[in-house]
Amino acid sequence: MDAFTTHTGTALPLRRSNVDTDQIIPAVYLKRVTRTGFEDGLFGAWRVDPDFVLNRPEHQEASILLAGPDFGTGSSREHAVWALMDHGFRVVLSSRFADIFRGNSGKAGLLAAQVDQSVIDRLWTIVEADPTTSITVDLEAREVRAEDLFAPFVIDDYTRHRLLNGLDDIAVTLDDESSIVDFEARRPAWKPVTQ
Amino acid sequence: MGRTLAEKVWDEHVVRSAPPAPDLLYVDMHLIHEVTSPQAFDGLRLAGRRVRRPDLTLATEDHNVPTVDAHLPIADPVSRTQVETLRKNAAEFGIRLHPLGDVEQGIVHVVGPQLGLTQPGMTIVCGDSHTSTHGAFGALAFGIGTSEVEHVLATQTLPQARPKTMAVTVNGTLSDGVTAKDLILALISRTGTGGGQGYVVEYRGTAIEALSMEGRMTVCNMSIEWGAKAGMIAPDQTTFDYIEGRPEAPKGADWDAAVEYWKTLVTDEDAGFDKEVVIDASEVTPFVTWGTNPGQGVPLSDAVPSPDDFADESDRVAAQKALEYMDLTPGTPMRQVEVDTVFVGSCTNGRIEDLRLAAEVLRGRTVADNTRLLVVPGSVRVRLEAEAEGLHEVFTAAGAEWRGAGCSMCLGMNPDQLEPGERSASTSNRNFEGRQGKGGRTHLVSVPVAAATAVAGHLASPADLPPVA
């Protein structure tokens, strides 16, 4: 995974709450066995509307998604994160993320940064007034900056540490394989096995 | 200070604890299906890693599989490739797979419990959000993403932040005709889709204790629909009786040792929860959704709400959008909402007890004109059991379609989908826009309401139907 320290770009205002992962990428796009190439499925059903915000010419370069509360609810599909990243998003800001979506983002390298809804409201207003507004998301400082707005965001320490250093989670775990071996030696013999 | 059920199971699985890093948890059982695993296996191959514990891993085909003509090759080439990829990966990495055509094939969350692989006190994960189902046995079970699937394959562990705990206490008794599904839908309408976020929830109280294992699985299954990390129910005699004698259940002295341990898996009297919710079961009535998330529900006896009924601005906007999508007018009695399709099945309500409930309503009755009823068993075993009891004859006599096992119309990855504008009453778990097919409209309901709706042609409970002649 590439390291993430700070990102500056333009934003896409998505004025909806409860955007579930079926909306981010409908199930019909999940049949592929690759990890990339999901860009065409992003907001697949909403995108057929030419007025949908993702289709607007002024937001074509957006790399920061400004989402409503309860973003990423429902299905565990990591394809939702991949589709956002394949489209060019590096950051999602929301006042509340579903747990699995947030976890998937941290693993795949998409920054899911939690801010107060008042911050989202202000950013929506700023970006709708001027879509070219440059927004900076600083993971080191845990801060979002746009025009005169400086707002802190919340992210757990471990995910921040991993993103800042671009760490491979599995390698980190396997570095201490002996503790897994020790644990396995203590497991009760009657626990079920599949073979 | 005592510990909650969730804390006991958590503590038992901590491989390494080194704050501020999250705990490293051991995974007792890793369930796999075709949709969320191929990229994880690719990751292993790229890094030259093996599957650490194939013997703690089980794969089945469920999301993509057709529910008719199971003996034929899968018609959709992309679905077929995905299923074939799972077969190839299972063979290469030495994982037990129950493929289409196998007697143990079915929805992953139906197969685990029915094999006896789901047991109290275990940690169980799967690349599927409805893994919370297994919490009905007092297991700590939750859905994970594909990167985490790869992590579990490689290490049999997961780094996890310790969640908060919540108790949902359901006192009293559910009325006749009111099911576990109504209870969980009523709860979610109260909490909203984010109310459980960050919590492992323990469902307890007399109404929970009175539920069968099937009912408990229905409740825990939908924990994710209100955002909870997991749902759990303390194991008791009902749990032990369900597990005993199943193919993978402990036997002999192992059984005794297991039960002795399982009996310790209760929340201590002096343990504290971070949050508590109390519900009176006697107030719960048949419940249906009107909107596009599982929290947008009302009693069947109510009417479609108006956006103005919601105090919160974002709830009001969400209601407005949902009503437009659902093509519903505020004030319309829910019982007047006509449906085209009824779906009985899924990991929420596709078990034998669910099919018995459906058959009870359908016996001697017929499905309404212009309505189709799909009955999709959760597994091949459920299908065989239903056929042994003659339930399939009740379904087909009523005019229903009796199908093979799989996820089917719950998410429409296979050909079982709604057409644009079609409306369903569904025993599944999600009424998201387009969930059951692009442009389809879904009302989540219990099994008895689904069956009665199929007969009436509009949302109805069995009590609304004229008696069988």
B4–chain A nearest CA distance, Å:
21
Question: Is the pLDDT at B72 greater than 90, yes or no?
Answer: no
Amino acid at B141: A
CB within 8 Å: A81 and B56: no
pLDDT in tens, B103-151: 999 999 999 999 999 999 999 999 999 999 999 999 999 999 999 999 9
List CB contacts (< 8 A) between B74 and chain A: none
More confident residue, B73 or B187: B187
A186 interface with B at CB cutoff 8 Å: no
Average of per-residue pLDDT across A40-52: 96
Residue B143 near chain A (CB below 8 Å): yes
Residues 114-153 of A with CB under 8 A from B: none
Nearest CA in chain A to B252: A190
Average pLDDT of the residues of chain B = 97
Q: What pLDDT is stored for residue B101 in this prediction?
A: 93
C-alpha to C-alpha distance for B340 and B349, rounded to whole angstroms: 20
Which chain A residue has the Cα nearest residue B44? A170
Residues of chain A numbered 47-106 and touching chain B (CB < 8 Å): 68-70, 73-79, 81, 96, 98-100, 103-104
Q: Are A109 and A139 in contact (CB under 8 A)?
A: no
Within chain A, strands assigned E span: 6-9, 11-14, 64-67, 91-94, 111-114, 135-138, 143-146, 149-152
Does residue B237 surpass a pLDDT of 90?
yes
For A90-128, write each residue's pLDDT tens digit.
999 999 999 999 999 999 999 999 999 999 999 999 999
Which ranges of B225-303 does DSSP label H, i.e. alpha helix? 237-243, 252-262
B92 or B20, higher pLDDT: B92
Rounded (10°) angle between helices B180-191 and B213-221:
20
A-B contacts at Cβ under 8 angstroms: 203
B342 to chain A nearest CA, in Å? 20
Can you give the pLDDT at residue A1?
A: 79
Is omega for the bond preceding B299 within 30 degrees of 0, making it cis?
no
Q: Residue B70 — pLDDT band, cuts 50, 70, 90?
A: confident
Q: Is the pLDDT of residue B469 over 80?
A: no
Burial of B468 (0-12, 13-18, 19+ CB in 10 A): exposed
Contact residues on chain A for B225, CB-CB shorter than 8 A: 74
A74, HSE (Cβ side, Cα atoms, 13 Å): 29
Mean local confidence (pLDDT), B290-303: 98
pLDDT at site B313:
87
Q: What is the pTM of this model?
A: 0.97
| A10 pLDDT tier (thresholds 50, 70, 90) | very high
> Chain B residue closest to A28 (CA)?
B413
**Digit-coded pLDDT (tens) for B334-360:** 999 999 999 999 999 999 999 999 999
Q: What is the pLDDT of residue A110?
A: 97
Tell me whether B416 touches chain A (CB under 8 Å): no
Is A103 in contact with B145 (Cβ distance < 8 A)? yes
| Cα(B136)–Cα(B138) distance, integer angstroms | 6
Q: How large is the ipTM?
A: 0.96
Q: Where are the beta strands (DSSP E) in A71-117?
A: 91-94, 111-114
Residue with tokens 């309401």: B449
What pLDDT digit, counting tens, does each position of B364-383 carry?
A: 999 999 999 999 999 999 99
**Which of B68-77, B154-163, B180-189 shows the lowest mean pLDDT across its residues?**
B68-77
| Banded model confidence at residue B307, pLDDT cuts 50, 70, 90 | very high
3-state secondary structure of B104: coil
Question: Is A45 an 8 Å CB contact of chain B?
Answer: yes
> Could you tell me which residues are beta bridge partners of residue B124?
B29, B141
Nearest-CB residue to A193 (from B21, B56, B261)? B56
Mean of pLDDT values over B166-189: 98
